[in-house]
């Protein structure tokens, strides 16, 4: 009976030994309670390098590195296994040839039936290749992380499948203004404009990326501070190994400067094309008008000769009809010559106020009963060197066109003023930099689309019905202005009216009073003046009111729409006694900074600053002696008191 039971046990032990010996991917061996090696399998020999006869009876600590042996790690391994029932870890181990490998180690204690420790079972696996792969992956991920974190010109970040921000690089913070703590977990739609969110663009962007594999576009985006920038955006979907969408990668670049440069280039090219086109058309029409005038000369003179020998009533009537047609043809050629800048002009210095006021009756008659005409003319303005008759004809053409654009009536305003054209704007307008008298004709009519605006000065181009216009009115205006050394521009939008502005070179110092002409006979004596004031205001309506107030207080008025224009006036040799400026202005320099610059250029100048903000909210370093402040809205009486106080203080 005993012999029968012993044989199966011996067979089991033999099979187990065969199993252990057949394993070559694991080192499986036994240790006695002190850590001495008691058995050794082929797997241990394969990747540790020792044959069984070399290693049996040796301490297992020889597989550990010098550093681990110095810290007592082998002893702690056995103690941990005995105390906790198992020890498991990964670490560097040493082969017979001294090379190292990364090992996964499991040590189990072996107890007999009475609880006595018989030794340890130790299983080791060589994970060096897996370790290398993991290290390579970690290194690659770290390099990628450093790459992304090092990019500052691009916003690179991740979104979850619903569009919430999950990470954030320094480029995103620089471009959009949010720190990672502020934006993580927020929906990326906050970067879009209100208009784009209202149309569902953020949602469509993610849907397109998921459906088509990419979303790419350009558009306005919003920074943390509310400012907008023009962005180039790419969104790519991210899938895991199971092809399940786990999020999106989003790359955004701020290309505002590039877009501005492209728009500026496009505008310059359009301006050049328009200039070349108008020059070409002008040469063509000038030649046609010249030849047509020669033909008309023959026709008119032959008709005159015929009238000497014709006595019949019918023949006389036919000749007179032909003469009237010839006269109309002559007027058409004059308009063509005006456009081509070949008309004979008789320029002289004129005060534009006088020209307009003397022609006002004709202008009002041309407007008809349904159009309300108003004039905004400063009391003093520089002279212009123009042909008076052609100036009046050009103004009448503009008024008639404005009237026709308001068939149901409306408001027509003629505004006269002065402006400084700086070097940059002068290059764009193709005129010399300097002082110009501006004449603006503004209506509340039907307006024009952009394609019509680009052609309004072309001869024979008209939007009026057949028989209601020759298409030569604005051509005459264009020719007269350019031949006079000026510039004309049109600003119009459908349903919002049209504004046409003519710029003519200013002559003199802006001290000519309304109705005062330069002539050998002299003019009216100049009125007593309280001095010259330079008004700096970027809002045209406020500028008009301020001009009227100062004029009523006896001041000669100069105006500028920003600090740059004001400095240009102050650098000229013209008297300026008072600077009256808004504090908050466009184009960089504010009123306080302008006041300091003005006092550098003109130490004795008095400065009165105005603002809709309270004085406490404004920078105080500019309010030195000679500088005063008035709050908007102001009354003329308050303004007079402030000016009186400035004079007393001097």
Residue range 527-544, pLDDT digits in tens = 345 788 899 888 887 787
What number of residues does the chain have?
A: 650
94-103, 307-316, 467-476, 483-492: which range is least confident on average? Answer: 467-476
Q: Which residue intervals of 250-379 are DSSP H helices?
A: 256-309, 313-339, 352-367
CA pair distance 210, 100, nearest whole angstrom: 47
| Residues whose CB is less than 8 angstroms from the CB of residue 458 and which lie 6 or more positions away in sequence, other chains included | 278, 281, 471, 475
As a whole number, mean pLDDT of residues 400-413 equals 86
Residue ranges covered by each domain of the chain: 18-128, 151-254, 265-339, 345-527, 528-650
Strand order, beta sheet including 245-254: 154-159, 245-254, 228-239, 215-222
Q: Give the bridge partners for 64, in sequence order.
A: 93
Residue 22 has pLDDT above 70, yes or no: no
Tokens coding 58? 């040796």
User: Which is more confidently placed, 424 or 244?
Assistant: 244
Residue 2 has pLDDT above 70, yes or no: no
Q: Which residue intervals of 340-438 are DSSP H helices?
A: 352-367, 388-404, 423-429
Sequential DSSP letters for 544-583: HHHHHHHHHTTEEEEEESSHHHHHHHHTSSS---EEEEES
Q: Give the bridge partners for 119, in sequence order.
A: 110
Tell me phi and psi for residue 233, to 5 degrees. Answer: -125, 135
pLDDT value of residue 648: 55
Tokens coding 618? 């404004």
pLDDT value of residue 354: 86
CA pair distance 249, 413, nearest whole angstrom: 56
Are residues 90 and 104 in contact, defined by beta-carbon separation less than 8 angstroms? Answer: yes
Tell me phi and psi for residue 478, to 5 degrees. Answer: -60, -45
The distance of Cα 441 from the centroid of its chain, to the nearest Å, equals: 31
Strand stretches in 112-244, DSSP E: 117-126, 154-159, 215-222, 228-239
Task: Please report which confidence band the pLDDT of residue 201 belongs to, taking 50, 70 and 90 as the band edges.
Answer: very high
In 3D space, the residue among 569, 273, 597 whose CA is nearest the CA of residue 422 turns out to be 569
Task: Please report which confidence band the pLDDT of residue 344 belongs to, taking 50, 70 and 90 as the band edges.
Answer: low
Task: Please report which confidence band the pLDDT of residue 471 belongs to, taking 50, 70 and 90 as the band edges.
Answer: very low
pLDDT value of residue 3: 47
pLDDT value of residue 249: 87
5-14, 395-404, 411-420, 461-470: which range is least confident on average? Answer: 461-470
Give the long-range contacts of residues 390-394, CB within 8 A, separation 24 or more.
390/338, 390/343, 390/345, 390/476, 390/480, 391/350, 391/352, 391/355, 391/480, 392/355, 392/359, 392/362, 393/476, 393/480, 394/476, 394/477, 394/480, 394/481, 394/502
**Which residue do the tokens 């006869």 mark?**
53
| Residues whose CB is less than 8 angstroms from the CB of residue 273 and which lie 6 or more positions away in sequence, other chains included | none
Q: Is 9 helix (H, G, I), strand (E, B) or coil?
A: helix
What is the gyration radius of the CA atoms in the chain, in angstroms? 46
Q: How many CB atoms lie within 10 A of CB 476?
A: 24
Q: Right CATH number for 151-254 from 3.20.10.10, 3.40.50.1820, 1.20.120.530, 3.30.450.20?
A: 3.30.450.20
| Backbone angle region of 35, left / alpha / beta, with phi > 0 → left and psi within -120 to 50 → alpha | left
pLDDT value of residue 400: 83
Give the long-range contacts of residues 205-211, CB within 8 A, separation 24 or more.
205/233, 205/235, 206/159, 206/163, 206/235, 206/248, 208/235, 209/235, 209/236, 209/237, 209/248, 210/237, 210/245, 210/248
pLDDT value of residue 623: 57
As a whole number, mean pLDDT of residues 428-441 equals 87
**Which residue do the tokens 């008659």 mark?**
365
Tell me phi and psi for residue 303, to 5 degrees. Answer: -65, -40
Q: Which of 88-97, 291-300, 325-334, 606-615 has the highest mean pLDDT?
A: 88-97
pTM: 0.36
As a whole number, mean pLDDT of residues 207-221 equals 91
pLDDT value of residue 487: 87
Q: Right CATH number for 528-650 from 3.40.50.2300, 3.40.190.10, 3.90.226.10, 3.40.50.300?
A: 3.40.50.2300
Task: Please report which confidence band the pLDDT of residue 1 belongs to, taking 50, 70 and 90 as the band edges.
Answer: very low
The distance of Cα 491 from the centroid of its chain, to the nearest Å, equals: 21
**Which class is 345-527 in CATH?**
alpha beta
Peptide bond into 219 cis (omega under 30): no
| Residues whose CB is less than 8 angstroms from the CB of residue 14 and which lie 6 or more positions away in sequence, other chains included | none
Q: Is 239 helix (H, G, I), strand (E, B) or coil?
A: strand
Reported as type and span, the H/E element at residue 476 is helix 473-483
In 3D space, the residue among 27, 68, 69 whose CA is nearest the CA of residue 44 turns out to be 27
In 3D space, the residue among 552, 594, 596, 559 whose CA is nearest the CA of residue 576 turns out to be 559
As a whole number, the mean pLDDT across the chain is 78
**Which residue do the tokens 């909210």 mark?**
617
In 3D space, the residue among 245, 516, 454 whose CA is nearest the CA of residue 463 turns out to be 454
In 3D space, the residue among 342, 345, 331, 332 whose CA is nearest the CA of residue 388 turns out to be 345
As a whole number, mean pLDDT of residues 53-69 equals 92
User: Which is more confidently placed, 101 or 310?
Assistant: 101
**Which residue do the tokens 């394969």 mark?**
46
Residue pLDDT, tens place only, 104-154: 999 999 998 888 899 998 988 888 888 887 776 676 556 656 555 655 678
Q: Which of 31-40, 321-330, 590-599, 620-629 has the highest mean pLDDT?
A: 31-40
15-29, 164-178, 338-352, 522-536: which range is least confident on average? Answer: 522-536
Strand stretches in 64-196, DSSP E: 87-94, 100-111, 117-126, 154-159
DSSP secondary structure letter of residue 482: H
Arch. (CATH architecture) of 18-128 = 2-Layer Sandwich (3.30)
CA pair distance 200, 193, nearest whole angstrom: 11
pLDDT value of residue 143: 65
As a whole number, mean pLDDT of residues 604-626 equals 67
Residue 253 has pLDDT above 80, yes or no: yes
> Are both 18-128 and 151-254 of the same fold?
yes
């Amino acid at each position: 009976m005993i012999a029968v039971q012993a044989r199966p046990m011996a067979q089991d032990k033999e099979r187990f030994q065969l199993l252990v010996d057949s394993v070559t991917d694991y080192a499986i061996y036994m240790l006695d309670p002190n850590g001495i090696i008691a058995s050794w399998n082929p797997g241990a020999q394969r990747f540790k390098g020792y044959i069984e006869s070399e290693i049996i009876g040796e301490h297992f600590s020889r597989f550990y590195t010098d550093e681990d042996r110095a810290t007592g790690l082998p002893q702690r391994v056995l103690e941990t296994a005995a105390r906790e029932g198992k020890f498991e870890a990964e670490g560097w181990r040493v082969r017979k040839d001294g090379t190292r490998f990364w090992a996964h180690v499991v040590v189990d204690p072996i107890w007999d039936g009475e609880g006595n420790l018989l030794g340890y079972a130790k299983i080791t696996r060589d994970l060096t290749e897996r370790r290398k792969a993991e290290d390579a992956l970690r290194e690659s991920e770290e390099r990628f992380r450093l790459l992304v974190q090092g990019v500052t010109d691009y916003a690179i970040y991740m979104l979850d499948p619903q569009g919430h921000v999950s990470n954030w690089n320094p480029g995103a913070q620089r471009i959009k203004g949010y720190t990672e703590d502020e934006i993580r977990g927020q929906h990326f739609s906050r970067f879009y404009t209100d208009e784009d969110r209202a149309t569902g663009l953020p949602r469509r962007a993610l849907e397109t990326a998921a459906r088509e594999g990419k979303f790419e576009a350009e558009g306005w985006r919003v920074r943390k501070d509310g400012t907008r920038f023009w962005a180039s955006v790419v969104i790519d979907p991210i899938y895991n190994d199971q092809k399940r969408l786990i999020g999106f990668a989003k790359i955004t670049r701020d290309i505002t400067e590039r877009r501005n440069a492209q728009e500026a280039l496009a505008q310059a090219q359009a301006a050049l094309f328009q200039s070349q086109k108008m020059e070409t058309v002008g040469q063509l029409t000038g030649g046609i008008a010249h030849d047509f005038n020669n033909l008309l000369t023959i026709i008119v003179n032959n008709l005159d000769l015929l009238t000497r020998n014709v006595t019949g009533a019918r023949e006389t009537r036919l000749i007179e009809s032909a003469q009237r047609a010839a006269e109309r043809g002559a007027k058409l050629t004059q308009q063509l010559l005006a456009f081509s800048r070949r008309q004979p002009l008789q320029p002289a210095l004129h005060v534009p106020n006088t020209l307009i006021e003397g022609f006002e009756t004709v202008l009002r008659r041309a407007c008809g009963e349904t159009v309300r005409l108003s004039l905004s003319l400063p009391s003093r303005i520089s002279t212009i060197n123009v042909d008076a008759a052609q100036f009046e004809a050009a103004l009448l053409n503009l008024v008639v066109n404005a009237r026709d654009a308001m068939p149901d009536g409306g408001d027509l305003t003629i505004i006269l003023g002065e402006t400084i054209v700086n070097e940059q704007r002068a290059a764009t307008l193709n005129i010399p930099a300097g002082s110009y008298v501006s004449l603006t004709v503004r209506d509340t009519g039907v307006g024009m689309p952009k394609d019509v605006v680009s052609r309004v000065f072309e001869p024979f181009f008209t939007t009026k019905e057949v028989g209601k216009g020759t298409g030569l009115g604005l051509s005459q205006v264009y020719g007269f202005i350019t031949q006079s050394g000026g510039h004309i521009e049109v600003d119009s939008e459908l349903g919002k009216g049209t504004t046409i502005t003519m710029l003519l070179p200013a002559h003199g110092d802006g001290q000519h009073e309304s109705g005062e002409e330069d002539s050998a006979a002299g003019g009216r004596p100049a009125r007593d003046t309280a001095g010259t004031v330079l008004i700096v205001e970027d809002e045209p309506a406020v500028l008009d009111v301020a001009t009227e107030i100062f004029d009523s207080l006896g001041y000669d008025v100069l105006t500028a729409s920003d600090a740059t224009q004001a400095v240009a006036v102050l650098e000229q040799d013209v008297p300026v006694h008072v600077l009256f400026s808004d504090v908050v202005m466009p184009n960089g320099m504010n009123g306080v900074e302008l006041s300091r610059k003005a006092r550098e250029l003109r130490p004795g100048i008095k400065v009165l600053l105005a603002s809709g903000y309270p004085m406490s909210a404004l920078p105080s370093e500019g309010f030195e002696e000679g500088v005063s402040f008035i709050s908007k809205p102001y009354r003329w009486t308050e303004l007079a008191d402030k000016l009186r106080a400035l004079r007393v203080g001097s």
